[in-house]
Chains A and B, each alone.
Chain A
């Protein structure tokens, strides 16, 4: 072969040429810019327009941000400092208001020596959520629990928590981190107990109430075991009935008797002392946790074959969706007062949580119904063909797929609901955005301040909602089972 070549061709290169560097316009930042920002006339125009808007905003507001004052005791002091530092006529942000009033934005009027309690509840929220939200990823769970443990304990020490509670907090958070390594499923026990613990820590009072609620669950379980021998349907009814009778008829009296016998409790805190993000997060978390199961039940009911169930579900959903949330809140705060005899104290936060939950559940039901409708009919038929009964089919085949499809919608509803918690301002509760800012502005030192509280509250809301949104994206990626 080589001989032939030698005769016909003067030179044959036998090694590959080293790759040339790409032309300047096809590499690095330039390439990225060309592809993403200046790929055509329309794109170029939009890019320039966007840059123009950014420039407009920055040039108008930069000096205001740059001249931020963080330590002052009143707005006039802020103005004085700004005038002294940057000259007469300069304008600047007075974030000193946040520095002085941050505690009210976060805790409302919660007694300041008890700030550790909501903080502990918030920390434990992540411990309770970790096994639910990150059930499959050990490394993420480790990260979340580790961070929670460290941050919670540091905050608790900083807030002057009593030693006994500090030990409790350390035991729970560190214990959870250790257990999560080996038997993450055990953590679900804590997740189930968390709502009771959270309510007790937030509102305080006697621990016997919590214990009596637990006793109710225990009695219900006992009734279930006894009746299960007769029929499974009966056992569910018996369990619910026994627990209800206990809670309504005896739990209150038993709790107060026990409290008289062995007083055991922590300082009670009234609902009207809640405010700021403590209030928003309490309502938001309770609403989210309750509206998802309720929404699932409603969605299933709406697709049910039974006429009564379907029409009740449709009526409920359409009624709630047809009424603004503010109307429901007014009903909760005003109308109920007329129906209840004077002197009864039906906790206002509980009323709001119920209304917010019902509201979110109606939307949730429609989102999930969308997911159910998106499933191919074959899935339902396959479940039937396997001989599964209704509940097994829903639990094992239908819902896991439908919920996965609905994740973006569900999380959107959650985020919307969380932001809607600021509407409680209309019933005289101190939401962080409006009521609390108005209350702060009502003091003579901070009257006239406008943007700074909004910016502060907006940033925190953004962080929380953005976190939820990122989590939903992570969940979608993790659950992706489709073939690419």
Chain B
């Protein structure tokens, strides 16, 4: 620690500016560890267990990138970031990838100098109401009190939606999801609004989930995806295509179980390219031939990751919905590996 303090002091005095020439891939390889920004705790997406091991849907993206780049999915340093610190942590270089259920928006992509490399979860804002209220559509919420997290895009979406539909509401401002649940359960508000995935997780944790309904309206688009810094396109490519590899693997039926077999026997040329049997796609992004194979082996393909963390077999119980492959009516569409 002493040494790092000293380095920091010297550095502050000299103010070396080296941001533009960053080579994140080389940095990560030299460090031997991927710094991955995650949520401080969001059920299903990123959470430390009793032993401090991180699991979750976003965490598996970190693991896949670490496996592709470093060959070991455990070589990840999880940097917990709050809603306020996440983008600064990324742009200041504290983390290499930000996999923290962040919505891809215009201003974040441009003004904040981030690059969203794709979407790993298509979310949207919904409403939950107690069944006894008898409400079946968000349009019937005129005059309702609504619990809403302050300082989030959900707050703005809510205002937009009610204005567009000429409805009125009175907000009950809350600070965190846990507080929102508590207020909602205590009857401080008629409806609770947040991302649909969050609503499902919240409802699943109630003592009486059958007495609460999630209304069918989804009032916003919340494409959540991993982000990297502007200015290092090669690193952006690596993260983007690692994510695409997970999605493509599901499309082509490559799972962590059958992958070794497919490497030997698959006749599908796309799978052969993906797994590095033919062609050397890895070399084009500065990695070796088997990068995608390792990424898929880390925690499985997209479908496996979904099922293990937030899918219908888990307590959260999310259906695939928009997050199904394009072949099954969803929005997941990985560009060809060629």
Binding site for B on A (CB under 8 A): 75, 79, 100-101, 103-104, 108-109, 112, 199, 203, 205, 209, 213, 247-248, 251-252, 255-256, 270-273, 330, 333-334, 336-347, 350, 425-428, 430, 434-435, 437-444, 447-448, 450
Contact = CB atoms under 8 A, between A and B. Distances in A.
Contacts of B19: 342
B40 A428 contact: yes
Interface in B285-338: 314-316
Given A109-B48, A205-B1, A344 B43 contact: no
Interface in B1-47: 1-9, 11-12, 15-19, 22, 27, 39-44, 46-47
A343 B24 CA distance: 10
Interface string B44-55: 101111111000
B74 to A, nearest CB: 15
Secondary structure at chain A's binding surface: helix, strand, loop or mixed?
helix
A101 B27 CA distance: 35
Nearest to A83: B207
B80 A428 contact: yes
A75 B1 contact: no
A428 B81 contact: yes
B178 A441 contact: yes
A450 B8 contact: no
B5 A346 contact: yes
A104 B82 contact: no
Given A345-B7, A430-B80, A443-B43, A450 B92 contact: no
Interface size class of B (residues with CB under 8 A): 35 or more
Contacts of B2: 209, 213, 251-252, 255
Contacts of B315: 444, 447
B279 interface: no
Contacts of B17: 341
Nearest to A273: B52
A337 B88 contact: yes
Nearest to A436: B41
B94 A337 contact: yes
B41 A439 contact: yes
B77 interface: yes
20 contacts: A104-B52, A108-B52, A213-B2, A272-B79, A338-B88, A341-B16, A342-B22, A344-B8, A346-B5, A428-B82, A439-B40, A439-B41, A442-B42, A443-B43, A444-B43, A444-B44, A444-B201, A444-B315, A450-B178, A450-B182
A75 B205 contact: yes
Contacts of B11: 340-341, 344, 346
Contacts of A439: 40-41, 47-48, 80
Most buried by A among B1, B94, B178, B182: B1
B43 A442 contact: yes
A256 B182 CA distance: 53
A252 B3 contact: yes
B58 to A, nearest CB: 11
Chain A to chain B: the 4 pairs with minimum beta-carbon distance, closest first: A346-B8, A442-B41, A448-B205, A342-B93
B52 A339 contact: no
A89 to B, nearest CB: 10
A344 B7 contact: yes
Interface in B152-183: 176, 178, 181-182
B18 A341 contact: yes
B15 A339 contact: yes
Most buried by B among A109, A251, A270, A341: A341
Contacts of B94: 337
B125 to A, nearest CB: 20
A270 B77 CA distance: 10
Nearest to A340: B11
Contacts of B52: 104, 108-109, 273
B258 interface: no
B206 interface: yes
B21 to A, nearest CB: 10
A330 B84 CA distance: 9
A336 B13 CA distance: 12
B181 A438 contact: no
A347 B2 CA distance: 9
Given A251-B2, A426-B82, A437-B178, A112 B205 contact: no
A347 B46 CA distance: 24
Given A104-B52, A439-B41, A442-B46, A350 B88 contact: no
Contacts of A108: 52
Contacts of B8: 340, 344-347
B93 A343 contact: yes
